[in-house]
Structure 1
Protein backbone atom coordinates (compact mmCIF):
# COMPACT_ATOMS: atom_id res chain seq x y z
CA UNK A 1 0.00 0.00 0.00
CA UNK A 2 1.32 3.42 -0.91
CA UNK A 3 1.75 6.15 1.66
CA UNK A 4 -0.87 8.88 1.19
CA UNK A 5 0.18 11.19 -1.64
CA UNK A 6 2.59 8.59 -3.08
CA UNK A 7 2.18 6.29 -6.03
CA UNK A 8 2.60 2.57 -5.45
CA UNK A 9 5.97 0.91 -6.08
CA UNK A 10 4.81 -0.82 -9.29
CA UNK A 11 3.33 2.47 -10.57
CA UNK A 12 6.69 4.17 -10.00
CA UNK A 13 8.59 1.35 -11.72
CA UNK A 14 6.25 1.48 -14.71
CA UNK A 15 6.44 5.28 -14.89
CA UNK A 16 10.22 5.62 -14.66
CA UNK A 17 11.01 2.45 -16.63
CA UNK A 18 8.72 3.44 -19.47
CA UNK A 19 10.04 7.02 -19.33
CA UNK A 20 13.61 5.77 -19.78
CA UNK A 21 12.66 3.41 -22.62
CA UNK A 22 10.57 6.10 -24.30
CA UNK A 23 13.25 8.77 -24.03
CA UNK A 24 16.01 6.45 -25.26
CA UNK A 25 13.89 5.26 -28.19
CA UNK A 26 12.94 8.87 -29.03
CA UNK A 27 16.55 10.08 -29.06
CA UNK A 28 17.74 7.02 -31.00
CA UNK A 29 14.92 7.54 -33.52
CA UNK A 30 15.95 11.16 -34.07
CA UNK A 31 19.63 10.24 -34.50
CA UNK A 32 18.76 7.31 -36.78
CA UNK A 33 16.64 9.54 -39.00
CA UNK A 34 18.53 12.82 -39.09
CA UNK A 35 22.07 11.42 -39.09
CA UNK A 36 21.42 8.23 -41.04
CA UNK A 37 24.66 8.29 -43.05
CA UNK A 38 26.86 9.11 -40.05
CA UNK A 39 25.37 6.79 -37.40
CA UNK A 40 22.82 4.48 -39.01
CA UNK A 41 24.17 3.43 -42.39
CA UNK A 42 23.28 -0.24 -41.77
CA UNK A 43 20.07 0.50 -39.81
CA UNK A 44 21.38 -0.81 -36.48
CA UNK A 45 19.91 2.21 -34.68
CA UNK A 46 16.59 1.73 -36.46
CA UNK A 47 16.46 -1.87 -35.26
CA UNK A 48 17.28 -0.78 -31.69
CA UNK A 49 14.72 2.05 -31.85
CA UNK A 50 11.97 -0.33 -32.96
CA UNK A 51 12.93 -3.01 -30.42
CA UNK A 52 12.75 -0.52 -27.57
CA UNK A 53 9.69 1.40 -28.71
CA UNK A 54 7.65 -1.72 -29.45
CA UNK A 55 8.04 -2.91 -25.85
CA UNK A 56 6.04 0.15 -24.83
CA UNK A 57 2.98 -1.31 -26.57
CA UNK A 58 3.06 -4.18 -24.07
CA UNK A 59 4.07 -2.16 -21.04
CA UNK A 60 1.23 0.30 -21.62
CA UNK A 61 -1.25 -2.56 -21.14
CA UNK A 62 0.33 -3.37 -17.77
CA UNK A 63 0.45 0.30 -16.85
CA UNK A 64 -3.19 0.95 -17.68
CA UNK A 65 -4.28 -2.22 -15.85
CA UNK A 66 -2.30 -1.16 -12.78
CA UNK A 67 -3.64 2.38 -12.92
CA UNK A 68 -7.25 1.20 -13.22
CA UNK A 69 -6.85 -1.07 -10.19
CA UNK A 70 -4.69 1.40 -8.20
CA UNK A 71 -5.89 5.00 -8.67
CA UNK A 72 -3.44 7.86 -8.55
CA UNK A 73 -3.13 9.76 -5.28
CA UNK A 74 -5.36 12.77 -4.86
CA UNK A 75 -3.97 16.05 -6.12
CA UNK A 76 -3.29 18.75 -3.51
CA UNK A 77 -6.23 20.83 -2.32
CA UNK A 78 -4.16 23.90 -3.22
CA UNK A 79 -4.77 23.14 -6.92
CA UNK A 80 -7.81 24.78 -8.48
CA UNK A 81 -10.45 22.57 -10.11
CA UNK A 82 -9.30 23.87 -13.51
CA UNK A 83 -5.68 22.88 -12.76
CA UNK A 84 -6.81 19.43 -11.62
CA UNK A 85 -8.77 19.05 -14.85
CA UNK A 86 -5.71 20.16 -16.82
CA UNK A 87 -3.60 17.52 -15.05
CA UNK A 88 -6.16 14.86 -15.92
CA UNK A 89 -6.32 15.91 -19.59
CA UNK A 90 -2.52 16.20 -19.77
CA UNK A 91 -2.07 12.67 -18.49
CA UNK A 92 -4.68 11.35 -20.92
CA UNK A 93 -2.79 13.03 -23.76
CA UNK A 94 0.50 11.52 -22.61
CA UNK A 95 -1.02 8.04 -22.53
CA UNK A 96 -2.88 8.44 -25.82
CA UNK A 97 -0.22 10.19 -27.88
CA UNK A 98 3.17 9.25 -26.40
CA UNK A 99 2.47 5.73 -25.19
CA UNK A 100 -0.10 4.52 -27.70
CA UNK A 101 -0.19 6.79 -30.77
CA UNK A 102 3.54 7.10 -31.31
CA UNK A 103 4.36 3.37 -31.14
CA UNK A 104 1.31 2.55 -33.29
CA UNK A 105 2.28 5.15 -35.89
CA UNK A 106 5.78 3.64 -36.04
CA UNK A 107 4.30 0.17 -36.43
CA UNK A 108 2.08 1.49 -39.22
CA UNK A 109 5.07 3.12 -40.96
CA UNK A 110 7.08 -0.10 -40.74
CA UNK A 111 4.12 -2.09 -42.06
CA UNK A 112 3.64 0.25 -45.03
CA UNK A 113 7.39 0.01 -45.74
CA UNK A 114 7.37 -3.81 -45.39
CA UNK A 115 9.99 -3.62 -42.62
CA UNK A 116 9.79 -5.94 -39.60
CA UNK A 117 9.56 -4.81 -35.99
CA UNK A 118 11.27 -7.09 -33.50
CA UNK A 119 9.92 -6.66 -29.96
CA UNK A 120 12.96 -6.51 -27.68
CA UNK A 121 14.70 -8.67 -30.31
CA UNK A 122 12.49 -11.62 -29.26
CA UNK A 123 9.67 -11.85 -31.81
CA UNK A 124 8.29 -9.92 -34.77
CA UNK A 125 5.09 -7.95 -34.65
CA UNK A 126 2.70 -8.81 -37.47
CA UNK A 127 2.18 -5.99 -39.96
CA UNK A 128 -0.79 -3.71 -39.28
CA UNK A 129 -1.46 -3.25 -43.00
CA UNK A 130 -0.20 -4.61 -46.29
CA UNK A 131 2.93 -2.94 -47.67
CA UNK A 132 2.07 0.10 -49.77
CA UNK A 133 4.83 2.41 -50.97
CA UNK A 134 2.23 5.02 -51.98
CA UNK A 135 1.52 5.52 -48.25
CA UNK A 136 5.18 5.62 -47.17
CA UNK A 137 5.58 9.42 -47.07
CA UNK A 138 2.28 9.89 -45.24
CA UNK A 139 3.13 7.19 -42.67
CA UNK A 140 6.58 8.72 -42.14
CA UNK A 141 5.07 12.19 -41.67
CA UNK A 142 2.49 10.93 -39.17
CA UNK A 143 5.17 9.21 -37.09
CA UNK A 144 7.61 12.13 -37.32
CA UNK A 145 5.11 14.83 -36.37
CA UNK A 146 3.64 12.65 -33.62
CA UNK A 147 7.18 12.22 -32.25
CA UNK A 148 7.73 15.98 -32.10
CA UNK A 149 4.31 16.49 -30.50
CA UNK A 150 5.27 13.89 -27.92
CA UNK A 151 8.53 15.69 -27.23
CA UNK A 152 6.52 18.82 -26.48
CA UNK A 153 4.07 16.92 -24.25
CA UNK A 154 6.87 15.23 -22.31
CA UNK A 155 8.72 18.55 -21.98
CA UNK A 156 5.54 20.14 -20.62
CA UNK A 157 5.06 17.23 -18.21
CA UNK A 158 8.58 17.68 -16.85
CA UNK A 159 8.17 21.46 -16.52
CA UNK A 160 4.87 21.10 -14.66
CA UNK A 161 6.39 18.51 -12.30
CA UNK A 162 9.29 20.86 -11.60
CA UNK A 163 6.84 23.75 -11.06
CA UNK A 164 5.02 21.66 -8.44
CA UNK A 165 8.29 20.95 -6.69
CA UNK A 166 10.05 24.34 -6.84
CA UNK A 167 7.22 26.88 -7.12
CA UNK A 168 4.18 25.28 -5.52
CA UNK A 169 6.37 23.34 -3.05
CA UNK A 170 3.78 20.55 -2.86
CA UNK A 171 4.25 16.78 -2.79
CA UNK A 172 3.17 15.97 -6.37
CA UNK A 173 6.66 15.23 -7.74
CA UNK A 174 7.87 13.66 -4.50
CA UNK A 175 4.98 11.17 -4.64
CA UNK A 176 6.37 9.70 -7.89
CA UNK A 177 10.02 9.60 -6.89
CA UNK A 178 11.52 6.16 -6.25
CA UNK A 179 12.17 5.15 -2.66
CA UNK A 180 9.62 7.48 -1.13
CA UNK A 181 7.25 5.55 1.13
CA UNK A 182 5.70 3.04 -1.23
Structure 2
Protein backbone atom coordinates (compact mmCIF):
# COMPACT_ATOMS: atom_id res chain seq x y z
CA UNK A 1 0.00 0.00 0.00
CA UNK A 2 1.56 3.27 -1.06
CA UNK A 3 1.11 6.62 0.51
CA UNK A 4 0.96 9.96 -1.22
CA UNK A 5 3.85 12.30 -0.61
CA UNK A 6 2.88 15.79 -1.67
CA UNK A 7 5.17 17.63 0.77
CA UNK A 8 8.53 16.26 -0.37
CA UNK A 9 10.72 13.24 -0.10
CA UNK A 10 10.78 11.32 3.15
CA UNK A 11 13.87 11.46 5.35
CA UNK A 12 14.49 7.80 4.55
CA UNK A 13 14.33 8.47 0.81
CA UNK A 14 16.81 11.31 1.24
CA UNK A 15 19.21 9.17 3.30
CA UNK A 16 19.01 6.39 0.72
CA UNK A 17 19.54 8.82 -2.17
CA UNK A 18 22.51 10.69 -0.72
CA UNK A 19 24.04 7.62 0.94
CA UNK A 20 23.94 5.64 -2.27
CA UNK A 21 25.21 8.66 -4.21
CA UNK A 22 28.20 8.96 -1.86
CA UNK A 23 28.98 5.24 -2.05
CA UNK A 24 28.58 5.24 -5.84
CA UNK A 25 30.79 8.30 -6.40
CA UNK A 26 33.50 7.00 -4.04
CA UNK A 27 33.39 3.57 -5.63
CA UNK A 28 33.46 5.01 -9.15
CA UNK A 29 36.44 7.22 -8.30
CA UNK A 30 38.28 4.34 -6.63
CA UNK A 31 37.65 2.17 -9.69
CA UNK A 32 39.18 4.79 -11.96
CA UNK A 33 42.20 5.25 -9.69
CA UNK A 34 42.65 1.49 -9.28
CA UNK A 35 42.70 0.80 -13.00
CA UNK A 36 44.23 3.88 -14.63
CA UNK A 37 46.97 4.41 -12.05
CA UNK A 38 47.39 0.78 -11.11
CA UNK A 39 51.17 0.79 -10.85
CA UNK A 40 51.41 4.10 -8.99
CA UNK A 41 48.43 3.90 -6.62
CA UNK A 42 47.28 0.29 -6.58
CA UNK A 43 50.27 -2.05 -6.83
CA UNK A 44 48.91 -4.43 -4.17
CA UNK A 45 45.24 -4.01 -5.16
CA UNK A 46 44.15 -2.27 -1.95
CA UNK A 47 42.09 0.24 -3.94
CA UNK A 48 40.52 -2.58 -5.92
CA UNK A 49 39.44 -4.37 -2.75
CA UNK A 50 37.98 -1.15 -1.33
CA UNK A 51 36.25 -0.42 -4.66
CA UNK A 52 34.62 -3.86 -4.65
CA UNK A 53 33.68 -3.68 -0.97
CA UNK A 54 31.84 -0.40 -1.50
CA UNK A 55 30.32 -1.08 -4.92
CA UNK A 56 28.92 -4.47 -3.93
CA UNK A 57 26.88 -2.88 -1.13
CA UNK A 58 24.89 -0.95 -3.74
CA UNK A 59 23.12 -4.14 -4.84
CA UNK A 60 21.89 -4.76 -1.30
CA UNK A 61 20.93 -1.18 -0.49
CA UNK A 62 19.14 -0.99 -3.84
CA UNK A 63 16.65 -3.60 -2.64
CA UNK A 64 15.84 -1.41 0.39
CA UNK A 65 15.61 1.69 -1.79
CA UNK A 66 13.26 0.11 -4.31
CA UNK A 67 11.07 -1.31 -1.54
CA UNK A 68 10.92 2.11 0.12
CA UNK A 69 10.11 3.76 -3.21
CA UNK A 70 7.29 1.30 -3.91
CA UNK A 71 5.73 2.02 -0.52
CA UNK A 72 6.27 5.81 -0.57
CA UNK A 73 5.32 7.86 -3.58
CA UNK A 74 7.70 10.67 -4.46
CA UNK A 75 6.33 14.20 -4.66
CA UNK A 76 4.71 15.21 -7.91
CA UNK A 77 6.85 17.04 -10.42
CA UNK A 78 6.05 20.74 -10.82
CA UNK A 79 3.22 21.66 -13.17
CA UNK A 80 5.66 24.01 -14.90
CA UNK A 81 7.39 20.97 -16.40
CA UNK A 82 6.11 19.88 -19.80
CA UNK A 83 4.85 16.31 -20.28
CA UNK A 84 7.96 15.62 -22.38
CA UNK A 85 10.24 16.81 -19.56
CA UNK A 86 8.33 14.71 -17.03
CA UNK A 87 8.72 11.67 -19.27
CA UNK A 88 12.42 12.44 -19.66
CA UNK A 89 12.77 12.61 -15.86
CA UNK A 90 11.10 9.21 -15.50
CA UNK A 91 13.30 7.64 -18.20
CA UNK A 92 16.42 9.24 -16.71
CA UNK A 93 15.67 7.80 -13.27
CA UNK A 94 14.96 4.35 -14.70
CA UNK A 95 18.29 4.48 -16.55
CA UNK A 96 20.11 5.53 -13.37
CA UNK A 97 18.64 2.59 -11.47
CA UNK A 98 19.13 0.09 -14.30
CA UNK A 99 22.61 1.06 -15.42
CA UNK A 100 24.35 2.74 -12.46
CA UNK A 101 22.84 0.72 -9.62
CA UNK A 102 22.24 -2.67 -11.24
CA UNK A 103 24.24 -3.19 -14.46
CA UNK A 104 27.46 -1.61 -13.21
CA UNK A 105 27.78 -3.61 -9.96
CA UNK A 106 26.67 -6.80 -11.75
CA UNK A 107 29.22 -6.28 -14.54
CA UNK A 108 31.93 -5.84 -11.91
CA UNK A 109 30.78 -8.98 -10.13
CA UNK A 110 30.84 -10.81 -13.46
CA UNK A 111 34.37 -9.54 -14.23
CA UNK A 112 35.57 -10.58 -10.78
CA UNK A 113 33.99 -14.02 -11.25
CA UNK A 114 35.62 -14.47 -14.67
CA UNK A 115 38.98 -13.44 -13.16
CA UNK A 116 38.48 -15.73 -10.13
CA UNK A 117 38.86 -12.73 -7.80
CA UNK A 118 36.62 -12.67 -4.71
CA UNK A 119 34.40 -9.77 -3.68
CA UNK A 120 34.33 -9.18 0.06
CA UNK A 121 31.26 -7.07 0.88
CA UNK A 122 32.39 -4.49 3.45
CA UNK A 123 34.65 -7.08 5.03
CA UNK A 124 31.61 -9.11 6.12
CA UNK A 125 31.08 -11.91 3.59
CA UNK A 126 32.12 -13.07 0.15
CA UNK A 127 29.80 -12.87 -2.81
CA UNK A 128 29.57 -16.19 -4.62
CA UNK A 129 30.92 -16.14 -8.17
CA UNK A 130 28.31 -15.51 -10.87
CA UNK A 131 30.11 -17.77 -13.35
CA UNK A 132 33.08 -20.08 -13.43
CA UNK A 133 36.48 -18.48 -14.02
CA UNK A 134 37.32 -18.20 -17.71
CA UNK A 135 40.51 -16.42 -18.82
CA UNK A 136 39.19 -16.33 -22.40
CA UNK A 137 36.36 -13.99 -21.32
CA UNK A 138 38.52 -11.70 -19.16
CA UNK A 139 39.00 -8.96 -21.76
CA UNK A 140 35.31 -8.97 -22.69
CA UNK A 141 34.24 -8.75 -19.03
CA UNK A 142 36.69 -5.90 -18.44
CA UNK A 143 35.42 -4.09 -21.54
CA UNK A 144 31.79 -4.43 -20.45
CA UNK A 145 32.48 -3.15 -16.93
CA UNK A 146 34.71 -0.30 -18.09
CA UNK A 147 32.27 0.99 -20.71
CA UNK A 148 29.30 0.57 -18.39
CA UNK A 149 31.21 2.65 -15.81
CA UNK A 150 31.85 5.44 -18.31
CA UNK A 151 28.20 5.41 -19.42
CA UNK A 152 27.20 5.66 -15.76
CA UNK A 153 29.52 8.61 -15.30
CA UNK A 154 27.67 10.36 -18.12
CA UNK A 155 24.27 9.46 -16.60
CA UNK A 156 25.23 10.64 -13.11
CA UNK A 157 26.81 13.79 -14.51
CA UNK A 158 23.64 14.47 -16.50
CA UNK A 159 21.52 13.90 -13.39
CA UNK A 160 23.62 16.41 -11.48
CA UNK A 161 23.44 19.00 -14.27
CA UNK A 162 19.67 18.66 -14.58
CA UNK A 163 19.27 19.01 -10.81
CA UNK A 164 21.38 22.17 -10.89
CA UNK A 165 19.34 23.48 -13.85
CA UNK A 166 16.14 22.98 -11.85
CA UNK A 167 17.66 24.76 -8.88
CA UNK A 168 19.38 27.73 -10.49
CA UNK A 169 17.48 28.30 -13.73
CA UNK A 170 13.97 26.92 -13.22
CA UNK A 171 13.88 27.65 -9.46
CA UNK A 172 11.14 25.05 -9.14
CA UNK A 173 12.14 23.47 -5.81
CA UNK A 174 12.93 20.01 -7.15
CA UNK A 175 16.47 19.95 -5.72
CA UNK A 176 15.29 21.57 -2.49
CA UNK A 177 12.91 18.67 -1.95
CA UNK A 178 15.79 16.17 -1.97
CA UNK A 179 18.27 18.16 0.12
CA UNK A 180 18.93 16.62 3.55
CA UNK A 181 18.00 19.62 5.70
CA UNK A 182 14.62 20.35 4.11
CA UNK A 183 11.52 19.46 6.11
CA UNK A 184 8.70 17.26 4.90
The answer to whether the superposition gives a TM-score over 0.5 is yes
Please list the CA deviations of residues 11-38 of structure 1 after superposition, one character each: whole Å capped at 9, or x if unmatched: 0000000000000000000000000000
Number of the residue aligned with 2:69: 67
Q: Which residue number corresponds to residue 170 of structure 1?
A: 172
* Alignment correspondent of 2:38: 36
> Structure 1 regions of 5+ residues with no counterpart?
none
Decide which of 54, 57, 81 is 1:55's aligned counterpart. 57
Residues 5 and 172 in structure 1, CA contact (< 8 A), matched pair in contact too: no
What's the offset of the Cα at 1:2? 9.0
Instruction: Return the offset for 1:179.
Output: 1.6
Task: Please give the residue correspondences for 1:26-175 in structure 2 after superposition, counting only pairs within 5 Å.
Answer: 26-175=28-177
Contact 2:5 2:72 in 1 (8 A): no
Q: Which moved more, 1:1-10 or 1:29-38?
A: 1-10
Q: CA deviation at 1:5?
A: 4.1
Work out the number of aligned pairs and report it: 182
What CA distance in whole angstroms lies between the structure 2 residues aligned with 1:62 and 1:153?
Answer: 22
Structure 2 Cα separation of the partners of residues 87 and 3 of structure 1: 18
Task: State the Cα distance separating 1:6 from its structure 2 match.
Answer: 1.3
- How big is each residue's C-alpha offset from its partner over 1:49-74, in whole Å with a ceiling of 9 and x where there is no partner? 00000000100000000001101110
Q: Is the 8 A contact 2:4 2:73 kept in 1?
A: no
The alpha-carbon deviation at position 172 of structure 1 amounts to 0.4
- TM-score when scaled to structure 1? 0.98
What is the TM-score when the length of structure 2 is the normalising length? 0.97
Give the SS at the match of 2:174.
Answer: coil
SS at match of 1:30: helix
Q: Is the 8 A contact 1:102 1:146 kept in 2?
A: yes
**Residues 101 and 146 in structure 1, CA contact (< 8 A), matched pair in contact too:** yes
Indicate conservation of the 8 Å contact 1:2/1:181, yes or no: no
Structure 2 unmatched runs, 5+: none
Shift of 1:4: 3.2
Question: CA offsets, 1:55-96, max 9 Å, x none?
Answer: 001000000000011011100000000000000000000000
- Contact 1:97–1:150 at 8 Å: present in 2 too? yes
Q: Helix, strand or coil: the match of 1:173?
A: helix
